[in-house]
Amino acid sequence: MTTLYNILIFPGFLFAALIGMLASYIDRKVTARIHWRKGPPLLQPVYDFVKLMGKEIIVPAETSALAFLSAPFFGLSAVTVVSVIVWKGLIQPQGSFVGDLIVVVYLLTIPSIACIIGGFASNNPLASLGASREMKLILSYEMPFLLSILVPVIKSESIRIGDIVSYQLVNGAVLHSYAGVLAFISGVLCVQAKLSIAPFDIPEAEQEIIAGPAIEYSGLPLGIFKLTKWMMLFVVPSFLVAIFMPAVTVWGNLLRYAAILVIIILIKNTNPRVRIDQAVRFFWTWVSAIALLAVILALVGL
Amino acid sequence: MNKLILKALTKSINVYHAACSPCNNCDIEILDCLTPRYDLERFGMTLVGSIRHADAMLVTGVPNMKTAKRIKLVYEQMPKPAVVIAIGSCACGGNLFRNSYNFVKPLDEIIPVNAYVTGCPPKPEAMIMGVVKLIKALKAG
């Protein structure tokens, strides 16, 4: 019963969906204010989602309807499980299982893989292009992301999120060391690519390939796709909160999450989109170098 | 349930911009609606690139021999419930191209049109007024 409650309501699906919707509203509102516009009303993500529930679902001809329609649900379920594991680790650090950090890292790639499968199943050249760009983007950001996760692991000598959190609650946040700062910088850049928002929104570049993998989706599957994106906007930065700077209370964690969200929105609004080859080069040289330096510093003990 | 979805639909209209061989003036005015001065996003309207994501299709220009069947194809690909708005005098009735050699027939004889915004080009205020009237008509049933 508790497991079901954890997965469906708190800190699983409903909690992540609501905060994700709020985060998407904040994103749109702050973007609008930066453009000197007014921006959408508070309930806009809810309206968007409810509207998509009532729309017709179109499946492209000559495609696998099963792969096309089930891909968004895989992403959604993966994000839900990540939310449960990360927030369980933040709220009661003793309750998590050994190796949940690795499970989270694997689960966080599933939404991207669902995006790829859905894109290739769309039977549309632009969707295939978006899916192949998404694949290249995964290859580019995954290595620096793993390297920057390695820093808290070295500091706390554990691969349990609960241990990492309780280590930081006792000894101070990882972010308070040189290695932690460098790992956090590369981690934020990787999160930017993981959420595929500007300057790394290459897979769904609206002006060139329209919406990338989501181009053929309509109705409920599109709603699930959007919901997954909103939940990712909440879950991935809160994973950074857990491994770099956890707080004792839920409100403290949410405040720190909001701080990371503001950083992400500011990066989004001040940078133009890069090409995929530029992104791969950037991640494999600069970001990897920063993350590697952070790992070396962490091994030295700084 | 239907009422809820209708309310959500009128609060979050995703607009697809179907240029049916216009002179580009109407297109520029449509883009003006999204600029800080008019900012249609405060009503939840956004411009989308894919017809599958659209709730409203803005058609500009005269349907001619080449675009008439394509505009019909695009309309058929739009997930329903959805509306069509004819922007500009050309889309509404042909304007000065009415007697031209490649004019096929008025837009509303090719696809169902829910609202007409006349003008050459119509001002952004006129478009917003047209959309507001359409939303009121949709809510009334």
Per domain, the residue ranges of chain B are 11-140
Fold annotation for B11-140: Rossmann fold (3.40.50)
Nearest chain A residue to B5 by CA distance is A51
Interface touch A218/B11, C-beta < 8 Å = no
Q: Which of B53, B73, B75 to mutate to test binding with chain A, by most A CBs within 10 Å of its CB?
A: B53
Q: Which of B2, B7, B42 minimises the CB distance to A40?
A: B42
Q: Which of A28, A47, A219 minimises the CB distance to B79?
A: A219
Residue A255 domain boundaries: 2-300
Does residue B112 belong to the interface with chain A, where contact is any CB pair within 8 Å? Answer: no
Type of residue numbered A2: T
pLDDT digits (tens, 9 = 90+) for B26-57: 888 888 888 888 888 888 888 888 888 888 89
Interface touch B49/A210, C-beta < 8 Å = yes
Rounded mean pLDDT, A243-248: 86
pLDDT at A173: 81
Interface touch A206/B49, C-beta < 8 Å = yes
**Band of pLDDT at residue B1, cut at 50, 70 and 90:** low
Angstrom CA distances, B53 to A48, A58, A164, A219, A226, stand at 11, 11, 42, 8, 11
Interface touch B79/A43, C-beta < 8 Å = no
Q: Which of A38, A50, A55 to mutate to test binding with chain B, by most B CBs within 10 Å of its CB?
A: A55
Q: Which of A36, A44, A57 minimises the CB distance to B44?
A: A44
Instruction: Give me the number of domains chain A comprises.
Output: 1
Give A89's contacts (C-beta < 8 A, 6+ positions apart).
A95, A96, A100, A160, A161, A162, A164, A165, A242
Say what the ipTM of the complex is.
0.85
Terminus-to-terminus CA distance in chain B, angstroms? 15
Percent of chain A exceeding pLDDT 90 equals 21
Interface touch B79/A58, C-beta < 8 Å = yes
A215/chain B closest Cα distance in angstroms: 6
- DSSP codes, A239-293: HHHHHH---SSHHHHHHHHHHHHHHHHHHHHH-PPPPHHHHHHHIIIIIHHHHHH
Give B112's contacts (C-beta < 8 A, 6+ positions apart).
B84
Give the Cα separation of B35 and B39 in Å (integer): 5
- Which tokens is A153 given? 């692991």
pLDDT at A25: 92
- Which tokens is A14 given? 């409903």
pLDDT digits (tens, 9 = 90+) for B98-128: 888 888 888 888 889 888 888 888 888 898 8
